[in-house]
Structure 1
């Protein structure tokens, strides 16, 4: 496994995030045989919302090859998006981003990190399970509203699950900061 460098996103990173997400989403198109998958949003607006965006690279100072976008929500952080370029997949970059999300979330005083993901896609729920997340029912207005929004947007390609990581229990790798 290669070394991964994770840092806070800067303004000059934002344009590349859309391209990274579109490349990663192409894998879903092939898994679910989807026609008309919507392209990723611009990250200019999300970068101004409460929360944070982390980027990963394989060498210090190089362009991002992956990112994690976390929204600040009541009770913690919500991992809205995690994407790694397929050409850089399976090298530990996604796991490094997840660990950095946990560390940064703890530093911000969050009690937990939540996410919504596909249950049976190997790089989704099974991956997050291996990172310590557990499946839970949506237990806040934000998470219940998110479930409704997914249904309205037609994300019925496969079963989606709610997953949580409790930041008040267990130790977190604190090398990121």
Structure 2
């Protein structure tokens, strides 16, 4: 009798669990660079006007430390994204160069650092250029997508990218970034 009761209880719990309608989507609020995962504790952005034939864009930096204003100097761990306005809200295939579709040139730049070693993926002007530190490389993007939505200072970032040498960047973050201006 006890076995029958436990089986019925288990079945009822399984049914109750699968029939719940509370489907809350939770983001991880993290950035990952080359396997190191950290919680995003600060985010800053700038809006960039359209100039020199490029589209308007934003720069967003996600940091694993708490800052009241953007830090200066070299950072040991972060993910930064610069994205043109025409790419907001779209899932961008990072294995393919971005092509010009209007009169202004779209632009996408991703930079990340882990323990001071930085690398950058520059996807503009119909090509994808990857540098480590300041040196150009022959690395390629083997897989990756980026989707960023922006509404004022509210952002949602879903980033997944792997390079041919095994380097990787992931970001799963939704939150408010602090707007800053960069002195000219």
TM tier, shorter chain?
Answer: under 0.3
TM-score, with structure 2 as normaliser: 0.25
Q: Which protein is richer in helix relative to its size?
A: 1
TM-score, with structure 1 as normaliser: 0.25
Q: Which has the larger radius of gyration?
A: 2
Q: Which protein is richer in strand relative to its size?
A: 2
